[in-house]
Homo-oligomer: A and B are copies of this chain.
């Protein structure tokens, strides 16, 4: 486990983690993939639910990541306006986890005490501030579900990822974004065990130099090792400083990659430029 650690690698004040791996070379590699400008969103659509419940709205709701309220703007109205309330970490919202989202032994990456990094007024170290300029690099898509969904309870290994690369004829290089499909829907049956990344796969990401992870799944639920939190959230995020895109939607990407016979693209993830959050909704694009 000791090798699965980037604490100190980029200094004690670092807030970028593995985004440091996105060198000019990685960016240029990404730009070279943008040829036709065709773009695919990797985000789940979100239908907000009305913030105003009761006589003015439905009485029972699926809890949405976003609640919306239409504002009074005069009568009659010459413009419309609204306000939204966003749950930044939600299983049906494609969102970026900031490095301060996970705590390891009372500390956040790369070793800051929780009490100093996080206050009642927001995150002071390891927040979404790191995403201010957007993430732009080459993206590589490994489709683990080419022959059907990854079976429930399976822990994906580095070997599985190697095999996907070989099958697709693509190779992830240091600084690339790793996009992975397990082939599971965003709202699986909570009673049915999901697959997830194993610690071995996290080691693979570390050795290869993954800069950011985006998957329809990251960690299994329930955990692969009973009682041990999943390695992507509990090891890669706080230990490697690896930002995560949770709950990516990869159905359209799969179809387009198959159509084009290409598994690499320009990857962009530019969430609203809001500082100090633990996470933020994002609409990552694959641009071909």
Contacts and interface: CB of A to CB of B under 8 A. Distances in A.
Interface of A: 24, 26-31, 34-41, 43-48, 50-66, 68-94, 100-103, 106, 108, 114-115, 118-123, 129, 132-134, 136-137, 229, 233, 266, 268, 270-279, 281-285, 287
Given A61-B63, A134-B39, A122 B275 contact: no
Given A27-B38, A83-B51, A103-B78, A276 B73 contact: no
A78 B56 CA distance: 13
Given A31-B37, A34-B287, 9 more contacts: A24-B36, A24-B37, A27-B37, A48-B277, A56-B121, A68-B122, A70-B122, A72-B73, A268-B287
A87 B28 CA distance: 36
A239 B229 CA distance: 37
Contacts of A120: 50, 52, 56-57, 70-74
A6 to B, nearest CB: 19
Contacts of A47: 275-276
Give how many copies assemble into the complex: 4
A77 B132 CA distance: 26
A54 B65 contact: yes
A75 B122 contact: no
A203 B251 CA distance: 41
Most chain B CB atoms below 10 A, which of A85, A121, A137: A121
B45 A273 contact: yes
Contacts of A284: 270
A210 to B, nearest CB: 17
